[in-house]
Every structure is written in structure tokens, then in C-alpha cells.
């Protein structure tokens, strides 16, 4: 956690106190960490009053019995969480959903706890916690795993599969497998120690530290030393074939491919994954050095039906197509290294990732970015597509087509307005200036104006804020 990041947390708490009632989240009361981080789309996600530095998750998982007709697994776990209160705390919350907390210790001493509703784990330590000091919270928890769904009805979180679990948390699915301050504002480092039946593989974030088998169960230890938002954590489990390589100089890559996929899908994915090195180099030239310790792709069966840019280890359903692989890889810079502060700013992730995929496709001799832009602008003005406000699409339209396609078109139009030199300087400055932080659209607009020396208010208002089709330039 950087000092800068810490200041933003304090800022958020102060803002909440000053503007009490102004935000959709419950206001914080003195000494008690509020049960929400202030996101209008997800009022209960995240909490206030502390900042997590590190999650050390020890998970013991048993997938469904072979041939079982109900997809439910068994999770027994311990989360060791290192945190810093941003004020003296007599009580605080973690987000935990669908699993039971069995015991909680704070700084080595048993703490009182209760689970409120199906989302909040409320913890009352014996002694109040001193601000700006490290504290350790240990939660023992577990239960039956299922197949959770997000607000749009898509599978997410810890999704139990026939032979393991596909773990993709965006936007608020992390609490379905660990107690967490589930806000993209609070990035932390992670360690995962996951024990599964021998023969299964665990694909978590970061670097594989060790693997050992004991009495028919294998423990996989993963270390993720880069700051990471909770929605980007994964520990996907399955009958995978692991492949390690090194690309773009010295970047370690660890890929996992489901053995049960049709041969055709596997060979298509393998062909895509063979391009990882070239893709990394392509985006490094445009966005700056690859920002994390490792990369890799996990291709699981199609149980969730979409891909996610889980940090350092993107997850794909059924097949990794070239354009999707480029999209998820670009997210490592655009979304992961620099991420949104509020979910309403999701276009900063998706617009950039989609535009990156346009650029990659063009470089391979496919559809040019201009052609892709023209296709978006060919959508008739009375189409519903244009009614989405890209800078605030609404909770239920977080992943609407317009967030991706109009978001990408916005960047293409901006590139046309700024010229290539300034546009790519902006991309690099965006990562350079805000790397490791949680940002807003307003910050992007200001940086674009600073880099170009132009007043871009009318441009951005038209492209991002208006629920109507921009006039063709």
C-alpha cells in the first residue's frame, strides 16, 4: 500500500463524515467501521474505517463427488488479514456471503462476531484497535459452495464446477469465498495456500511457490506480491494441464488448459496462448512495462460463459480467442494496474481493453481500428445502444455493449483529435501517474487535457455523458 493510497482512504472517510447523508452508503459513526465503502451501485460492498494490506488465505476444497447431480463443494478455510485502521475502531465489518464464520481472533485474542444479513461479518475485538498500526484478524470459516449469480444473473464468485471451481469475482463476488473489504479502492497483496484432491490443479494469482502432496491431497502455494483489488483475485481449480514459459525477456507465464475441453477448442486456445509474448511486447510499447510479476491464462470449461482479467492470470471460458486474449491482457495495465474507484467508472477498464483489442486485431492484418469505429458509428441514432451513459451506465448495465464499444470509440475519437504521439503519451502517462491507484473518469479527463493542452470538456461530455449518439466527426 502506498502512502498516496492511504491518503485516499483517509480522504474517503473524511468525505463521508463531512457529507453525511449525501452518499448512498450508511454514514460512519465514531469508532465503528461503516458497512459499505460508499459505492452507489453496491452500497454494502466494502467497509469503512480500515485499510487491508494483505490477505493470507488457506483454503481446503473438495469439489462435488463424481457424478453428483447437485454442483456443491466443501470449503474449509482460514483468512489471515493484516489491516490498518484509519481511526480508533471498536467494531468493524468484513464482507462474507454464503459461508459461516466459525471463529475470529484479533491480534491473537478471541473476538466477538456475528453475521448480519447475508453479507456482513461484524467483528467486535476485546480491545479497541489503535489507528495507523498493523492489526491481524484471523477468521476461520467455511461451508458448502454453490453457484452464485451477480446482479445481472451471470455466474460469478466461487462457481462450483464438476471438477473444481471457476473463480471470477467481478464486480462484488469476492465475499463468496473469503472475508474481505470488497471495494476496488482497497488494494492489497495476497498469498494463497489451497489444498485440493491430488490430480487437480489450482490456478491462483501471481507466482507458484510450491506444490506438495500428502495423503492424496495436494497443497498449492501462490504468492501475489502486487497490489490487487479483491474482484481480481482467483483460485480457479480444475483438471488442468499446466504449462510454464518465459516471454518478452523475463516475464514468467503459467497457463492452465482444461483437459476435458474438445480438442478443437484446446488447439485454438493453444494457438492464442502462443502469442502471449508478442501481445505483451505490443502493449508494453503502447502502455509501458508489463506491471506485474507474472502472467498466464486459465482456460476452463464454459461454466460461466465469459472471460475475466483476474490479475496476472486471466480466466477464459471454453476457448481463449485472440481478440479476447488481447482484451484481458490489456486489462492488466488498464483496469488492474490502474483501476476504477467507483463501479460507475467501469468504462475506463472496458473502453481501454476493447480499444486495445481493436489495435491488436489491426496489427494482425484484421479489421482496422477505423473500421471498428465506423461499425459502432453505423448503429442508428434511435438504437437503444446510444441511451447508455458510458460514464454512469447504472448497476444493471455495468457490462452493457455501449460501455465496451462506445468506450472504445471514445478513445478512437480522442486519438484522432490528439494525434498518435499525444494519444499514446496519454496512455503511458495514465499508467505512469496513477499506477497502483484507484481512479475516476474526472482524473482521466484532466490528464487528457494536461497532455494535449486542449479544452476537452465538450468532447468528453458528448462521448461519455450524453445518452445520445455523438455527431460523426
Interface with Zn ion by CB under 5 A: which residues?
Answer: 350, 353
Give the nearer residue to ligand TRP in terms of CB position, either 189 or 317: 317
Give the nearer residue to ligand TRP in terms of CB position, either 120 or 309: 309
> How near is the Cβ of 329 to ligand TRP at its closest, in Å?
11
> How near is the Cβ of 333 to Zn ion at its closest, in Å?
12
Cell of residue 300, nine digits? 476452463
Find the binder of ligand TRP among 95, 226, 309, 322 (CB under 6 A).
309
Binding range to ligand TRP, per CB under 6 A, among 65-73, 110-118, 267-275, 307-315: 307-315
DSSP 315-380: EEES---HHHHHHHHHHTTBTTTBEESSGGGTHHHHHHHHHHHHHHHHHTTSS-HHHHHHHHHTS-
Binding range to ligand TRP, per CB under 6 A, among 64-72, 92-100, 190-198, 302-310: 302-310
8 Å CB contact between 12 and 85: no
Residue 74's contacts (CB-CB under 8 Å, 6 or more residues apart) are 61, 62, 142, 143, 144, 145
Binding range to ligand TRP, per CB under 6 A, among 16-24, 178-186, 306-314, 462-470: 306-314
> How near is the Cβ of 29 to Zn ion at its closest, in Å?
37
Contact flag: residue 405 with ligand TRP (CB under 6 A): no
> How near is the Cβ of 98 to Zn ion at its closest, in Å?
26
Task: Please give the Cα distance from 345 to 347 (Å, whole number).
Answer: 5
> How near is the Cβ of 462 to Zn ion at its closest, in Å?
24
> How near is the Cβ of 157 to Zn ion at its closest, in Å?
17
Task: Please give the Cα distance from 47 to 17 (Å, whole number).
Answer: 14
Contact flag: residue 182 with ligand TRP (CB under 6 A): no
Return phi, psi of residue 456, to 5°: -110, 15
> How near is the Cβ of 170 to Zn ion at its closest, in Å?
9
Contact flag: residue 302 with ligand TRP (CB under 6 A): no
Find the binder of ligand TRP among 143, 252, 306, 447 (CB under 6 A).
306
Residue 275's contacts (CB-CB under 8 Å, 6 or more residues apart) are 322, 325
Contact flag: residue 322 with ligand TRP (CB under 6 A): no
Give the nearer residue to Zn ion in terms of CB position, either 120 or 350: 350
> How near is the Cβ of 397 to ligand TRP at its closest, in Å?
11
Q: Give me the residues paired with residue 66 across strands.
A: none
> How near is the Cβ of 348 to ligand TRP at its closest, in Å?
12
Give the angle 162-190-398 at the CA atoms, nearest 5°: 65
308 binds, among Zn ion, ligand TRP, none (CB under 5 to 8 A by kind): ligand TRP
Three-state secondary-structure class, residue 471? coil
> How near is the Cβ of 336 to Zn ion at its closest, in Å?
10
- How many CB atoms within 10 Å of residue 332? 25
Find the binder of ligand TRP among 95, 163, 170, 223 (CB under 6 A).
170
Nearest to 331 by CA among 319, 340, 344: 340
Give the nearer residue to Zn ion in terms of CB position, either 79 or 319: 319
> How near is the Cβ of 473 to Zn ion at its closest, in Å?
26
Give the nearer residue to Zn ion in terms of CB position, either 322 or 350: 350
The CA-atom distances, in angstroms, between 463 and each of 79, 243, 288, 308, 328 are 43, 42, 26, 26, 24
8 Å CB contact between 303 and 155: yes
Find the binder of ligand TRP among 163, 258, 350, 392 (CB under 6 A).
350
DSSP 181-245: ---TTS-EEEEEEEEEETT-EEEESSEEEEEEEETTEEEEEEEEEEEE-GGG--EEEESEEEEEE
Exposure class string for 55-76: b at 16+ Cβ within 10 A, else e: bbbbbbbebbeeeeeebebebb
Contact flag: residue 154 with ligand TRP (CB under 6 A): yes
301 binds, among Zn ion, ligand TRP, none (CB under 5 to 8 A by kind): none
Return phi, psi of residue 271, to 5°: -65, -40
The residues in 208-267 that bind ligand TRP, with binding defined as CB under 6 A, are none
DSSP 66-128: TT-SS--EEEEEEEEEEEEESS-BSBEEEE--SSEEEEEEETTEE-EEEEETTTEEEEE-SSP
Site string for ligand TRP, 380-399 (x = CB under 6 A): -------------------x
Find the binder of ligand TRP among 279, 308, 411, 418 (CB under 6 A).
308
Find the binder of ligand TRP among 79, 81, 307, 414 (CB under 6 A).
307
Which residues contact ligand TRP by CB under 6 A?
154, 156, 170, 306-309, 328, 350, 399
Amino acid at each position: 500500500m502506498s502512502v498516496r493510497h492511504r491518503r485516499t482512504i483517509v480522504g474517503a472517510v473524511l468525505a463521508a463524515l463531512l457529507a453525511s447523508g449525501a452518499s448512498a452508503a450508511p454514514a460512519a459513526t465514531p469508532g465503528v467501521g461503516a458497512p459499505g465503502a460508499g459505492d452507489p451501485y453496491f452500497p454494502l460492498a466494502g467497509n469503512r474505517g480500515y485499510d487491508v494490506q494483505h490477505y493470507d488465505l488457506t483454503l481446503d476444497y473438495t469439489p462435488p463427488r463424481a457424478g453428483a447431480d447437485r454442483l456443491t463443494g466443501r470449503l474449509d478455510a482460514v483468512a489471515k488479514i493484516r489491516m490498518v485502521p484509519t481511526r480508533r475502531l471498536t467494531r468493524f465489518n468484513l464482507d462474507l456471503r454464503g459461508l459461516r464464520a466459525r471463529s475470529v481472533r484479533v491480534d491473537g485474542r478471541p473476538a466477538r462476531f456475528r453475521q448480519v444479513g447475508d453479507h456482513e461479518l461484524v467483528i467486535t475485538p476485546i480491545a479497541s484497535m489503535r489507528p495507523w498500526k498493523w492489526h491481524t484478524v484471523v477468521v476461520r470459516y467455511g461451508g458448502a459452495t454453490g453457484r452464485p449469480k451477480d446482479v445481472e444473473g451471470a455466474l460469478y464468485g466461487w462457481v462450483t464446477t464438476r471438477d473444481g471451481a471457476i473463480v471470477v469475482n467481478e464486480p462484488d463476488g469476492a465475499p463468496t469465498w473469503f472475508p474481505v473489504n470488497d471495494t476496488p479502492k482497497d488494494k492489497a497483496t495476497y498469498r494463497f495456500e489451497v489444498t485440493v484432491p491430488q490430480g487437480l490443479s489450482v490456478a491462483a494469482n501471481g507466482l507458484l511457490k510450491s506444490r506438495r502432496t500428502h495423503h492424496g491431497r495436494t497443497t498449492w502455494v501462490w504468492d501475489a506480491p502486487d497490489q490487487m483489488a479483491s474482484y481480481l483475485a482467483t483460485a480457479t481449480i480444475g483438471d488442468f494441464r499446466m504449462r510454464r514459459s518465459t516471454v518478452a525477456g523475463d516475464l514468467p507465464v503459467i497457463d492452465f488448459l482444461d483437459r476435458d475441453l474438445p480438442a478443437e477448442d484446446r488447439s485454438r486456445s493453444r494457438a492464442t496462448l502462443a502469442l502471449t509474448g508478442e501481445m505483451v511486447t505490443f502493449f508494453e510499447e503502447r502502455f509501458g512495462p508489463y506491471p506485474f510479476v507474472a502472467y498466464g491464462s486459465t482456460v476452463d470449461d464454459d461454466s460461466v460463459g465469459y472471460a475475466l482479467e483476474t490479475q496476472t492470470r486471466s480466466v477464459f471460458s471454453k476457448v481463449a480467442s485472440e481478440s479476447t486474449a488481447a482484451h484481458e491482457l490489456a486489462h492488466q495495465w488498464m483496469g488492474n494496474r490502474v483501476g476504477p474507484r467507483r463501479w460507475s467508472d467501469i468504462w475506463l477498464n472496458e473502453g481501454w481493453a476493447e480499444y486495445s483489442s481493436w489495435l491488436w486485431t489491426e496489427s494482425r492484418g484484421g479489421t482496422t481500428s477505423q473500421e471498428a469505429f465506423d461499425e459502432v458509428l453505423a448503429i442508428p441514432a434511435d438504437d437503444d445502444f446510444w441511451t447508455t451513459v458510458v460514464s454512469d451506465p447504472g448497476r444493471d448495465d455495468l457490462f452493457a455493449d455501449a460501455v465496451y464499444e462506445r468506450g472504445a470509440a471514445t478513445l478512437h475519437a480522442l486519438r484522432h483529435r490528439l494525434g498518435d504521439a499525444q494519444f499514446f503519451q496519454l496512455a503511458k502517462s495514465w499508467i505512469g501517474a496513477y499506477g497502483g491507484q484507484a481512479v475516476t473518469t474526472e482524473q482521466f479527463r484532466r490528464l487528457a487535457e494536461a497532455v494535449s493542452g486542449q479544452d476537452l470538456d465538450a468532447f468528453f461530455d458528448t462521448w461519455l455523458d450524453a445518452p445520445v449518439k455523438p455527431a460523426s466527426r
